[in-house]
Structure 1
């Protein structure tokens, strides 16, 4: 078995790990089990990488300590990352709600990070074994392309991500390492994930599969106005992915249909000129026809618009603006974009991301109990937390 020594060993060649390597200074090694770096970057945003959000701020993140992310986010902002993107000549555009994407390919972001991290070393196809600390240095037993090698380092950065998308190799190893050095974990669960119906609900909603509708989706204090999509398994679309981070099994979702429209006044006005039309026909001007037919059958909607009293219209609109649906589960880590929860923040410095329990240990990115909304926020947390750790490592005196 060979042994090699580095100043800093970074576990994980994803967004956070590569970004940290770009700032950690000389003697840095990044290791990952994957065949290529930045695989989640590569598949994100439909292959164009939603690399940050113009409106990223602490209020866009969930954590047991909502203040924890403030320091890192304020010291390396979305504008700082955008400057880096521009420096590398990567063309980009704003899609919706401040979401910034590459015009070309997500691979441009990966290439940028690889260029920025030079001369740090990158070992791929490398499995992580036992990790110990002898009082001055970390010692990691690695298997690199089938060969055993021991790496020692003054600093160890855990940038291994969470449990989401296991087909890409996500294992939760970072949580085990954190626990080994005394850190507690908050509950972890899938986030930014479609929600599922039971078999009875699937049968009832089958005719709606493929229908999309604008909604305001609310649950447990969260509220998002975006599109909702009915699928053959349940509910998806941006509004549902967003609210899934607030939803717990057994909770109902509150769905406001036709947001931005005063539907009661609209229907009353239409009654004066289109009273002979069927109620469902008029509703179909505002909602997908399949959904109108579903609601007509489920709620017993019948008759022409002229047959509806003000009271009946008010009752209908109240139901449309507070439609309660209760999914039975999420689709789990298989399709989740992120992992909610993670390493408790009270054991980590918010300024440097260094462990308060084990000097030289840093925890960054998704492994920490900080989870962003859909729309580039989680990448921004990766960049910001990585830079905080990297700069702290680069500026500390080199001893031992």
Structure 2
């Protein structure tokens, strides 16, 4: 920012110097040339007057009459009435300037001088203009540096604080003095930080309260299921009790994971073999049985050896959301595929439905959209993005969702 302020000020100063300096130099040059022409004309008139007096006395025309008026590189050209021409002095070489006398009587007297005679002081004028312009530029740069430092320093501090807005290390002390606009922005940021901090605190408290309220009945439910498992009098009853206990444990794990995500405890994603996780979770979650009960088939094409940067619990929850969405809203066979391409590991879940054809991606992942609660896909996408990946609807017909995560070295 300082560089931009300094550059803009210097450009303005340079433009001002050019706009004022160039016309000033041109006017000064014209005035100096006019003065030089007047000096040459006065000398030509003086020489003509002397020559006229000599003619009236019958004195011959010689250089001695005008030697004190002519430098060594100037000459007089005298033209008589009969057309005869007499040159007094040495004619200059190169470019010349000629000034005729205004009063020579019957004689025409012309002063011939080097063209440089009209340019004697022009260089001094342009040197003065250039020096003044350079001094003005130096002064402008110095003042711009001071002003840029005065404006940029508080703005840079303010930008740094904006990056920390909402964090515990946010500093709400004022960053500027005598800059009312920046002070107002700082005050607005402080107010926003207090509101954000209060909102985050309330959300975290609510999350903790919800987690506690859910754990309490789940603990009681687990105790009842353990009692049923102990009292089961058949293998089928024991298996059902085991399955119910697994679901309770899975629900507790999900609650704890979501609470950790809400508190930003797992900013750095873990590392997991995504292919093996998908294959194990489909079996552990009895998804094949659920699809079979619905009269549909679930196929899994998961290759092992696909390490990805994602928390295992996040990957399981994303897979659960996609499978539940396919089971509830899809039709026909459902396929789960894993693969790797261009540094990304993907999970694709597709079915034979086409209900999402022509539907915008933004609407699909918006909260409150759909036949259910409308937050499943939104939560799944948020979990994927927290892990540095993403979740997208890649095809609407047939419906295919794809979650991608950063691949790790195998």
The structure carrying a bigger helix percent of its residues is 2
Q: Which has the larger radius of gyration?
A: 2
Q: Normalising by structure 1, what TM-score? A: 0.20
Structure with the bigger RCO (C-alpha within 8 Å, sep 6+) is: 1
Q: Normalising by structure 2, what TM-score? A: 0.20
The structure carrying a bigger strand percent of its residues is 1
